[in-house]
Amino acid sequence: MKIFLDTANVEEIREAASWGIVDGVTTNPSLVAREKRDFNEVVQEICSIVDGPISAEVISLEAEKMILEAREVAEIHPNVVVKIPMTVDGLKAVSVVSKEGIKTNVTLVFSANQALLAAKAGATYVSPFLGRLDDIGTEGMNLVRDIVDIFDIHGYDTEVIAASIRNPMHVTDAALAGAHISTIPFGVLKQMTKHPLTDIGIEKFMQDWEGAFGK
Ligand code: E4P
C-alpha cells in the first residue's frame, strides 16, 4: 500500500519525506486555507519536495468551470492530480479531462455507487472518506472494502485512496482491506512510528551497554 500525506503544510511534508516513506500528497481547500498561502505557490512547492502524485482540488462546482479550472490546476506541475468532488458536474468534468490525459482524484466519496460512477467516468483515484463515516456512526472501513472488491471484480484500474484517516488502526485496516493508498495526516503518521516497547527496549539496551562499558 502506498502512503500519501494528507496536508498542505510544507514543513510536515519535508519532514515526512525525509523518512523515505511518502509516495504522494493530498490537499483539499480546507488544508490549503489553513496555510494562508497562494494556492499555486503551495502546490508548486509540494511538487518540488515529493516526486509523486500531488492532489490539488478545484473550487468550481459547475462542470464547464470545473473543466477549465482542472486544466489550469494540471498545468502547475506534471505530477498534479486534479481533485474533483463527487457530483454529477464532477463526473462530467472527470469524463472530459480524463480523456485529455489529466489525472483525477474523485473526492468526498461516501458510497460504493459513487465510487463505481467515478471509475466509469475515468477517475484515476477515488477517495472514500472513512473517518467522516465513522463520525456519523457508520463503519467507514466497510466502504473501502466494498469499493476495492467492486474494482477487483470488474477490473477497474482506478485506485482507492483511504481518506479521512483519523488514527493508526485506520491505516492497518485500510491496508488489510486492500486500499491501494492511505492518505494520512502527519500527526497519525508520527503515531504510527511509536510503540512503548520500542522505547523501553532502547532504554534497556543503553543501560546494559553503559553498565558494561561506561558512557
Ligand atoms: C482526502 O483527500 C481529504 O483531504 C481528507 O482525508 C479529509 O479528511 P478529514 O475528514 O479529516 O477532513
Ligand 1 binding residues, C-beta < 6 A: 6, 26, 28, 107, 127, 129, 131-132, 163-164, 183
For the CA of 131, the nearest atom of ligand 1:
10
Question: pTM above the 0.90 mark?
Answer: yes
Question: Ligand 1 centroid vs 172 CA: distance in angstroms?
Answer: 17
Taking the C-alpha atoms of residue 126 and residue 8, their distance in angstroms, rounded to an integer, is 19
Q: Is the ipTM of this complex over 0.85?
A: yes
The H or E element spanning position 162 is strand 159-162
Q: Residues near 161 by Cβ (< 8 Å), separated by ≥ 6?
A: 4, 26, 105, 125, 126, 127, 128, 179, 180, 181, 182, 183
What residue type is 37 in one-letter code?
R
Taking the C-alpha atoms of residue 141 and residue 54, their distance in angstroms, rounded to an integer, is 24
* Residue 188: CATH number of its domain: 3.20.20.70
Structural domains in the chain (count): 1
Which residue range forms the structural domain that includes residue 28?
A: 2-213
Note if 204 is an active site residue: no
The CA-atom distances, in angstroms, between 78 and each of 31, 70, 83 are 21, 13, 14
Per the CB < 8 A criterion, the answer to whether 162 and 182 are in contact is: yes
User: Is the per-residue pLDDT at 110 higher than 90?
Assistant: yes
- What pLDDT score does 215 carry? 83
